[in-house]
C-alpha cells in the first residue's frame, strides 16, 4: 500500500490553554486541514518537530498536545501529547539539530475527507516556538 506524507506547520503564538490551528503549508500559505488521500484507511504515524529561538523566555516551559478533528477521522476527535518545550535564558549551547518526535498510530480515516490539526500548550508561555506536523497515511 502506498504511503502519503502531508505536512502542516504553525507558529505557537497563542496563549497557553488555547486550542489553535496548525494550518500552514510548508511555504507558509494558509492551507487548512489535510485531505485524506483517496486510497488509504489509516493514519499510521505522526511526526512532530518543535523549535524555538535561543532568545528565550526565562524559566518557561510547556507540554504540547495535538488535537485532530474533522470528518476524515472515522472514530472522531483524537488528542495526542507530542512533547514539550523548555526554555531558559542561556545561549551558550549553540546549534542543536533535533529529529522529529515520531508517534506511531493506528487511527481509522475516511478517504477524501478532511483532518484538521490544532495544538495546545499547557504550562508557562515560552514565547513563539514553531511546530511542524506530518501525518503519514497508508
Rounded to the nearest 5°, which phi and psi values hold at 10? -165, 165
In DSSP terms, 117 is beta-bridged to 68
Q: Does the reported pTM lie above 0.85?
A: yes
Which residues lie across from 48 on neighbouring strands?
101, 133
Tell me, what CATH number does 23's domain have? 2.60.120
**Residue with the three cell numbers 476527535:** 77
- The Cα 22–Cα 38 span in angstroms is 22
Report the pLDDT value the prediction gives residue 102, as an integer from 0 to 100. 97
Count of domains forming the chain:
1
Range of the domain at 75: 4-137
Contact 4/136 with Cβ under 8 angstroms? yes
For 83-129, the pLDDT digits (tens) are 887 766 555 656 667 889 999 999 999 999 999 999 999 888 777 88
Amino acid at each position: 500500500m502506498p504511503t502519503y506524507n502531508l505536512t502542516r506547520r504553525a507558529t505557537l503564538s497563542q496563549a497557553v490553554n488555547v486550542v489553535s490551528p496548525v494550518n500552514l503549508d510548508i511555504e507558509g500559505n494558509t492551507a487548512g486541514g489535510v485531505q485524506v488521500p483517496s486510497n488509504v484507511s489509516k493514519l499510521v504515524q505522526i511526526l512532530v518537530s518543535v523549535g524555538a529561538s535561543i532568545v528565550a523566555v526565562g524559566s518557561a516551559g510547556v507540554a504540547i498536545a495535538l488535537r485532530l478533528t474533522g470528518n476524515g477521522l472515522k472514530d472522531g476527535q483524537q488528542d495526542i501529547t507530542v512533547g514539550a518545550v523548555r526554555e531558559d535564558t542561556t545561549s551558550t549551547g549553540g546549534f542543536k539539530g533535533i529529529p522529529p518526535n515520531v508517534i506511531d498510530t493506528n487511527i481509522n480515516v475516511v478517504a477524501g475527507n478532511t483532518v484538521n490539526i490544532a495544538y495546545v500548550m499547557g504550562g508557562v508561555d515560552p514565547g513563539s516556538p514553531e511546530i511542524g506536523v506530518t501525518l503519514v497515511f497508508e
